[in-house]
């Protein structure tokens, strides 16, 4: 469900099958997708592209998803969706990062789309109150 304009979504995961599947599905919904393979690469993309939403894996080389979320939160309130099969290792750190959504792998594409749409709608309403 695209709400009238193309949204730029940064997808960060070191698993190319995951980034391909997510980017193909989100592109079919009208979104522009940028892919990064590490936390450091994702942070560079974030700074260059100013995405509307970030989806990132918790376990990545060169800066995990929690570190990426902490860096983003230092300067931005952009919606962040963290994806992982294992959350326990990061539980304490995740509690300290404001406004992140967690989606456990494996997930259904329909669940991802629902979370993405909700995050974008919430972000839009806080940026442009009615």
- Which residue has better confidence, 99 or 34? 34
Does the pLDDT value for residue 1 go beyond 90? no
Per-residue model confidence as pLDDT tens digits over 40-95: 999 999 999 999 999 999 988 888 899 999 999 999 999 999 998 876 667 777 78
Give the C-alpha separation, 126 to 121, whole Å.
9
- pLDDT reported for residue 6: 86
Q: Torsions phi, psi of 105, nearest 5? A: -80, 145
- pLDDT reported for residue 124: 73
Per-residue model confidence as pLDDT tens digits over 25-47: 999 999 999 999 999 999 999 99
- pLDDT reported for residue 129: 43
- pLDDT reported for residue 97: 87
Interior CA angle at 11 toward 127 and 20, to 5°?
140
Does the pLDDT value for residue 130 go beyond 50? no
- pLDDT reported for residue 95: 81
């Amino acid at each position: 469900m695209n709400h009238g304009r193309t949204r730029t979504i940064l997808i960060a995961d070191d698993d190319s099958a995951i980034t391909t599947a997510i980017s193909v599905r989100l592109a079919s919904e009208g979104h522009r997708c940028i892919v990064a393979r590490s936390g450091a690469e994702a942070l560079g993309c974030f700074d260059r592209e100013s995405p509307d939403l970030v989806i990132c894996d918790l376990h990545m080389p060169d800066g995990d998803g929690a570190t990426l979320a902490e860096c983003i939160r230092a300067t931005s309130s952009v919606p962040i969706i963290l994806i992982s099969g294992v959350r326990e290792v990061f539980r304490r750190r995740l509690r300290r990062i404001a406004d992140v959504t967690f989606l456990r792998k494996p997930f259904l594409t329909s669940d991802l789309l629902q979370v993405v749409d909700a995050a974008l709608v919430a972000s839009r309403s806080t940026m442009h109150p009615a």
